[in-house]
């Protein structure tokens, strides 16, 4: 088709050409087979959803979900194929129309939230899946020491101090007494346990991820077959094919669903997945992107050792769980209810800091080290990084935006609050997520966004613009400028 012409009009003409090419392809190409089967979730997982996600009826092989299952005549099939084509053309046309208002300067900046611009990606639904085993922080010391057969008084005293300083109250965990009874080698120092750990993790992330996805699909209210792309993020599994394929099959996604996996990005993974989904949604008219993040600490679970002091920090801070989100541009007003518009995203790493967050896989699982200077390193760059995002809309004061920060730990949140001179309530939802779930790696930013949605709906957040931030190995900064939607 050639290169698109420059400027707004050129981009609109380019989108119109894409729509014409789509029509030509649809008239000559068969419709893809769409699968609708959902697998039930284990009782050990508790998907969080406002309404159940009802299974879609299976369609005969080769039929689109908009077609009936009673083998219609060729005339009827051609008519319904035309309906499908019209629907897809309308979705592409809506993107073309939104280009007039969505391209060029972001604009905005004042008080009050926007209705959003059509061409920008939007957050349409959220969901989460949690293990059944709840671990109150006040019981962590006894549970961990009993599970690892440790009776060292110094270890007990240190773990008790850590449990108080993390500010965590509740976490959810895959690891249990029953699992350790089945695999006693997991609590034996120096034992090669990578294979059983991966077996546990690979199964757990599928169960948790599927539960979170079903919750998000139930809130979204549209069939799973309408998902066009899947972005899967995890630092807890290692296999070929990956969890993205098994989740697509388990959820009944179309075989034509385009899958992307982001692995071992640690705590910045959730924000990286949002950035990836935003790019996909805005560059594929009519697409709907399902993001799934699933994590478990089983790979890093081991008995305490003086040679690995960080193990106790992990025991006091990290939890397990999964989250899911659905993202798309040009939402259908009668069917979709977006609450956040994803305006601009960026990523940056700090040279020379690759050892500050360090993890290596061995025969005993993953050995994880976290530098004590991590909060200091983040503080050294955070102001300039945030200004890159805020400058897009001309905002100068850090208290003039709302904040959704991945809570890696209380020290990081405290440093941000002091360095940027934030009002005490600015990081309230991040602290709340840390308190109720712990640090669940890539998932936690989605738990923060769930609390953000609640605050936006209640009207307690008055700012129009906000920032999503997360920090991971590298040290890598992930940031996104977002806008609340009425």
CA 124 to chain CA centroid, nearest Å: 13
For the chain, give the secondary structure using H, E and C. Answer: CCCCCCHHHHHHHHHHHHHHHHHHHHHHCCCCCCCCCCCCCCCCEEEECCCCCCCCCCCCCCCCCCCCCCCCCHHHHHHHHHHHHHHHHHHHHHHHHHHHHHCCCCCCCCECCECCCCCCEEEEEEEEEEECCEEEHHHHHHHHHHHCCCCCHHHHHHHHHHHHHCCCCEEECCCCHHHHHHCHHHHCCCCCCHHHHHHHHHHHHHHHHHHHHHHHHHHHCCCHHHCCEEEEEECCCCCCCCHHHHHHHHCCCCCCCEEEEEECCHHHHHHHHHHHHHHHHHHCCCCCEEEEEEECCHHHCCCCCCCCCHHHHHHHHECCEEEEEEEEECCCCCCCCCCEEEEEEEEEECCCCCCCEEEEEECCEEEEEECCCHHHHHHHHHHHHHHHHHHHHCCCCHHHCEEEECCCCHHHHHHHHHHCCCCCCCCHHHHHHHHHHCECHHHHHHHHHHHHHHHHHHCCCCECEEEEEEEECCCEEEEEEEEEEC
Q: Could you give the CA distance from residue 268 to residue 445 in angstroms, rounded to a whole number?
A: 9
How far apart CA 424 and CA 418 sit, in angstroms, is 10
Residue 267 is a catalytic residue: yes
Q: Which of 163, 267, 386, 419 is catalytic?
A: 267
> How far is residue 442's CA from residue 30's CA, in Å, rounded to a whole number?
39
* Lookup: tokens for 20: 């014409």
C-alpha–C-alpha distance, residues 183 and 197, integer Å: 9
Instruction: Provide the annotated active-site residues.
Output: 267
């Amino acid at each position: 088709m050639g290169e698109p012409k420059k400027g707004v009009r050129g981009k609109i003409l380019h989108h119109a050409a894409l729509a014409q090419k789509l029509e030509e392809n649809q008239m000559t190409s068969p419709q893809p087979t769409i699968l609708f089967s959902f697998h039930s979730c284990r009782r050990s997982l508790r998907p969080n959803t406002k309404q159940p996600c009802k299974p879609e009826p299976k369609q005969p092989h080769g039929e689109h979900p908009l077609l009936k299952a009673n083998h219609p005549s060729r005339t009827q099939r051609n008519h319904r194929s035309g309906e499908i084509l019209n629907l897809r053309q309308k979705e592409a046309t809506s993107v073309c129309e939104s280009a007039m208002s969505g391209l060029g300067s972001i604009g905005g900046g004042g008080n009050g939230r926007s209705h959003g611009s059509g061409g920008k990606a939007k957050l349409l639904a959220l969901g989460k899946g949690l293990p059944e085993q709840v671990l109150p922080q006040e019981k962590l010391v006894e549970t961990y020491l009993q599970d690892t057969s440790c009776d060292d008084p110094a270890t007990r005293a240190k773990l008790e101090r850590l449990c108080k300083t993390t500010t965590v109250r509740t976490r959810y965990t895959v690891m249990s007494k029953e699992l350790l009874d089945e695999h006693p080698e997991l609590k034996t120092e120096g034992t090669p346990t990578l294979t059983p750990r991966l077996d546990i993790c690979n199964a757990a992330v599928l169960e948790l991820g599927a539960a979170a996805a079903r919750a998000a699909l139930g809130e979204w209210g549209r069939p799973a077959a309408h998902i066009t792309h899947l972005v899967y993020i995890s630092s807890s599994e290692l296999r070929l094919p990956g969890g993205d394929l098994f989740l697509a099959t388990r959820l009944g996604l179309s075989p034509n669903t385009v899958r992307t996996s982001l692995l071992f990005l640690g705590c910045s993974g959730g924000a990286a997945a949002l950035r990836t989904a935003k790019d996909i949604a805005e560059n594929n008219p009519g697409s709907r992107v399902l993001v799934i993040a699933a994590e478990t600490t089983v790979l890093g679970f081991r008995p305490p050792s003086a040679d690995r002091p960080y193990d106790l920090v992990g025991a006091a801070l990290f939890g397990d769980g999964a989250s899911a989100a659905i993202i798309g541009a040009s939402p259908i007003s009668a069917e979709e209810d977006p609450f956040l518009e994803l305006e601009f995203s960026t990523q940056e790493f700090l040279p020379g800091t690759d050892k500050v967050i360090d993890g290596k896989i061995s025969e005993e699982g993953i050995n994880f080290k976290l530098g004590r200077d991590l909060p200091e390193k983040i503080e050294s760059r955070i102001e300039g990084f945030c200004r890159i995002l805020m400058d897009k809309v001309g905002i100068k004061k850090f208290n003039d935006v709302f904040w959704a920060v991945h809570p890696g730990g209380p020290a990081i949140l405290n440093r941000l609050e002091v360095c940027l001179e934030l009002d005490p309530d600015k990081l309230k939802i991040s602290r709340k997520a840390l308190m109720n779930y712990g640090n669940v790696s890539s998932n936690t930013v989605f738990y923060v966004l769930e609390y953000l949605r609640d605050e936006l709906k209640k009207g307690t957040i008055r700012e129009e613009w906000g920032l999503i931030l997360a920090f991971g190995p590298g040290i890598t900064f992930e940031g996104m400028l977002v806008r609340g939607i009425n």
